[in-house]
Amino acid sequence: MARAQHWLLKSEPFKYSWSQLMTDGKTHWDGVRNYEARNNLRAMTVGDLCLFYHSNEGKEIVGVAEVVRAAYPDPSSKDDWSCVDVSPVVPFTAPVSLDAIRNRKALAAMQMLTRNRLSVTRVTAAEFRTLLKMGETALP
């Protein structure tokens, strides 16, 4: 398998939570209405790993999901937007809070911090490894 890319997906748990994703087994990541986020969605390929972050309520990374379908036209819009399908991979044993991320030097450059309103951001392989470790979680 080609080396996977890593991403971070934000969702307000009210709107769509990690546990909902676990229940559903798979979801359409639609509704993105920001060009930069859309470009990130379009750059995703099947097998890419996504950190799942609860914004607003919780403010922590709670699990890892996987892209199971690459970008296709968002059915919730007739304009030129995209969405992908994701499935859960593994929940974090220890959710990683926004504070913990900020306090970790190795994560200071994370796009989720520098572009704080972007709902789909890139994560480097090193950042991903660090976060997995902080979450006390290993990939299956």
Partner DNA sequence: GCCAACGTTGGC
Query: Binding residues for DNA, per CB under 7 A?
Result: 10, 12, 33-36, 55-56, 59, 98-99, 115-119
Dihedral-angle region of residue 59 (phi above 0 means left; psi in -120 to 50 means alpha; beta otherwise): left
Pick between residue 69 and residue 115 the one whose CB is nearest to DNA: 115
Tell me the closest approach of the beta carbon of residue 55 to DNA, in angstroms. 4
Pick between residue 3 and residue 78 the one whose CB is nearest to DNA: 78
Tell me the closest approach of the beta carbon of residue 77 to DNA, in angstroms. 12
- Contact between 96 and 63 under an 8 Å Cβ cutoff? The reply is no
Q: At CA 5, angle to CA 140 and CA 62, rounded to 5?
A: 55
Tell me the closest approach of the beta carbon of residue 43 to DNA, in angstroms. 16
H or E segment to which residue 102 belongs: helix 98-102
Tell me the closest approach of the beta carbon of residue 138 to DNA, in angstroms. 26
Pick between residue 5 and residue 119 the one whose CB is nearest to DNA: 119
- Contact between 129 and 106 under an 8 Å Cβ cutoff? The reply is no
